[in-house]
Amino acid sequence: MHIEANTQAIDARAQQRAADARFTVEARFYQKLPKLKVRCELCPRGCTVSEGARGDCGVRENRDGVLYSLVYARVCSLHIDPIEKKPLFHYLPGTYALSLATAGCNVHCKFCQNWEISQSRPEQIPAQYLPPAQVARLAVENHCPTIAFTYSEPVIYSEFLMDTADAAHEAGVRSIVVSNGYIRKEALLAIYGKADAVKIDLKAFTESYYKKIVKGQLKPVLETLVALRKMNKWFEIVYLVTPTLNDSDDELLGLAKWVKTNLGVEVPLHFSQFHPNYQLKELGVTPLATLERAKSIADAEGLQFVYIGNIPGHPAQHTYCPHCHAVLVERTGFSAQRMLIENNECPHCQAAIAGIWRA
């Protein structure tokens, strides 16, 4: 009976591999080790993976001493979203992005809004095969000037992302990466280098929060933000304000000072409202007063573009000229209703407004 059970398990694995073959490609960021082990060099975890096992993300598997991605073109979520939903407020406002994801993530946020896909293995959820050229074609057919790699964590499907970004550029379509920023420098330069814009979720400004709530580290994410600045890559930051956990005045002030010193006052910073989900259902929704306090702290530090997210209709969702304070982009929910910026300037005082405003 034991032999028969083992045989059935081996057969099941073989059948699964055959079914998944079209989604499987050799990984690009890893090192081979003795005894058929490999070390993944994609993110700061640096998983050492034994033969037949997977890394922490659940989508990269060691087969006979070769590391494979199991999610190439394995798209489990596909939508057309307003660019403001990413959110990117200073990048082609009023346009739409063909948005996609595969399963998997390299962190484990207790508050994840998309945990059904981010915390699942690829074989656990339905997916369709969408190779890079087809994704680019869908963007063109649906009049989307951008493709957004989003919902889960694009870093873990980097091979698919990079090839799709190349195909998109050939078709005249740009690429957006919506990421947690938890990535090694060599991979960062290669992967984010393919993107035209990046949005980074900065989960908190303390290592303790990252360790307890995110199951990751803060330092590599801060290093990612500095690297993006040095690359002259357009990027924006989202900080999900979690009640009682990352909303103290000291932490918010430290964040604002760090952004000002290391990235510059023109980098957009979004303070978003938390909604209970996944493993943090005991916390309430972030009070509006807390979000406004966070914004006032960042404003006082001199940051020019500080937004409040997930509060439709709030005036802090508009873009204002940091010099004459005129409304330049007016938003309702995820929709840009009016955009007055021309030639990257305020039409009233001609001050330069940081961003990519027109295709």
Write the pLDDT tens digit of every residue in 272-293.
999 999 999 999 999 999 999 9
320 shares its domain with 198: yes
Domain extent for 24: 2-69
If asked whether residues 31 and 166 sit together in one domain, one would say no
Q: Same structural domain for residues 33 and 91?
A: no
Residue 105 lies inside a defined structural domain of this protein: yes
Read off the amino acid at residue 185: K
pTM equals 0.94
Q: Is the pLDDT of residue 326 over 70?
A: yes
Please write the tens of the pLDDT for every residue from 113-139: 999 999 999 999 999 999 999 999 999
Q: What's the whole-number mean pLDDT along residues 192-200? A: 98
Beta strands in 166-324 (DSSP E): 174-179, 197-201, 234-241, 269-273, 306-309, 319-320
Q: Do residues 291 and 241 make contact, with C-beta atoms less than 8 angstroms apart? A: yes
Question: CA 154 → CA 93, 102, 105, 168, 258, distances in Å?
Answer: 22, 8, 8, 16, 26
For residue range 126-181, list pLDDT tens digits in order.
999 999 999 999 999 999 999 999 999 999 999 999 999 999 999 999 999 999 99
Whether 91 and 35 map to the same domain: the answer is: no
Q: Give the number of domains in the chain.
A: 2
Is 235 within a domain? yes
Model confidence band, residue 5 (pLDDT cutoffs 50, 70, 90):
low
Average pLDDT over residues 199-209: 98
How far apart CA 179 and CA 192 sit, in angstroms, is 10
Residue 315 lies in a domain: yes
Residues 151 and 250 in one domain: yes
Claim to verify: residue 64 and residue 79 sit in the same structural domain: no
Q: Can you tell me the distance from the alpha carbon of 240 to that of 205, in angstroms, rounded to the nearest whole number? A: 11
- Residue 333: predicted pLDDT: 85
Task: Tell the burial category of 66 from Cβ atoms under 10 Å away from its Cβ (0-12, 13-18, 19+).
Answer: middle
Q: Judge whether 355 lies within some domain.
A: no
